[in-house]
Structure 1
Amino acid sequence: MSQTADFSVVVSDAAAKRIAAILSASGPEASALRISVEGGGCSGFSYKYDLTNAAEPDDVVIDRDGARVLIDPMSLTFMEGAVVDFVDDLMGQSFQIRNPNAVASCGCGTSFSV
């Protein structure tokens, strides 16, 4: 059974609104946004975003304002204390993760090192 997050990862208001809109537009094909950390990228690790319907038994589940975010335990170790945000500015729209564990990141903001 999935567990509710202890808010070690925070989803901002802007991110929750955008995730809820994406999930709403996806219909029955997706009920959650999975965020995971993978090896690779120009700084060593990178974030991966996937739409999914199924939570794994050990996933941490963050529900906020119609948005559901799933994070697996291994990824959570790299994301502890992070804030998931959505930015809409002159440079474009994107999810951004402000991760206090990252000691360096690349210019694109999707990869980091610890």
Structure 2
Amino acid sequence: MTDASVTLSDAAAKRIAAIVGTEPGKNALRVSVEGGGCSGFSYKFDLTGDATDDDVVVEKNDAKVLIDSMSLVYMAGSEIDFVDNLLGQSFQIKNPNAVASCGCGTSFSI
């Protein structure tokens, strides 16, 4: 299933394509939402080669992101970005549904 409610920035698409290109058997980045973290929910990032039946596929250029349907509920309208600055490199989720987040950028509450 393809869904446009989650988007990828150009920087994220470029970085995802570069990462999966070096990992044999992996062709996508899986993003999921889990309970826990310092603000209630946290994002989890994994490389994967297989989509499941309930995955939503977000594609841009040569990059593919898989999001399970339960995580999509919390991520609707979000943009996945890749930031490279003095503090380091990381994927960041710009989530309009989050009412609070922590300093690490991977934990949020709704």
Q: Normalising by structure 1, what TM-score?
A: 0.94
Q: C-alpha root-mean-square deviation of aligned residues, in Å?
A: 0.6
Q: How does 1:1-114 map to 2 (within 5 A)?
A: 3-5=1-3, 7-27=4-24, 29-114=25-110
Q: How many residues align?
A: 110
Question: Cα deviations across residues 12-59 of structure 1 (Å, max 9, x unaligned)?
Answer: 0000000000000112x2111000000000000000001111101111
Q: Normalising by structure 2, what TM-score?
A: 0.98
Identity within the alignment, %: 67
Query: Larger % of helix: which?
Result: 1
* Runs of 4+ with >4 A deviation: none
Q: Which sections of structure 1, spanning at least 5 residues, go unmatched? A: none
